Amino acid sequence: MKIKFLPQNVECDVDPSKSLLQIATENGLKIKSVCNGVPSCAECRVKIVAGDNSIPEPGKAELSLIGSSYYLDGRRLSCQVRCFGPVTVDLTEQVNKVDTQKKVRGFKQKDQKELSAVQDTMILNKVEPAKK
């Protein structure tokens, strides 16, 4: 049994112990996730295009984040979906997120190796109280 990720056309083995997010990440597919599967950010939404019968219905935590979009277009949180059979997942929305991710103006990102902390030292002189 396989999970097929579109538009990349990548197929992976089904592992019921792992979420779609974990399986995609392990196979080099990028899905944006701020919360790392808590679920609290809803950034990892994907569309299930085939195999709805191979995944469980969304739980309370997932429904509270995705709301009615699940019923309208079948999008789910990849961090919450575990597969028990063949499924086809459309990552087009995720591919577009990665390609159009905004950069913060005026912020220059450096490599971790270039980052360093500077510590200043403040020397305080003891001041004698004034005599009356």
Query: So where are the chain's domains?
Result: 2-100
Residue 8 one-letter amino acid? Q
CA distances from 16 to 4, 22, 79 (A): 15, 11, 13
Residue 42 scores a pLDDT above 60: yes
Q: What is the pTM of this model?
A: 0.67
pLDDT tens digits, one per residue of 52-111: 889 998 888 888 888 877 778 878 999 999 999 999 989 988 888 755 555 445 445 444
**What is the arithmetic mean of pLDDT over 11-15?**
90
The CATH number that domain 2-100 falls under is 3.10.20.30
Q: Pick from 65, 54, 42: which is nearest to 4 by CA?
A: 54
- pLDDT band at residue 129 using 50, 70 and 90 as cut-offs: confident
Place of tokens 């538009």: 7
**What is the arithmetic mean of pLDDT over 14-39?**
88
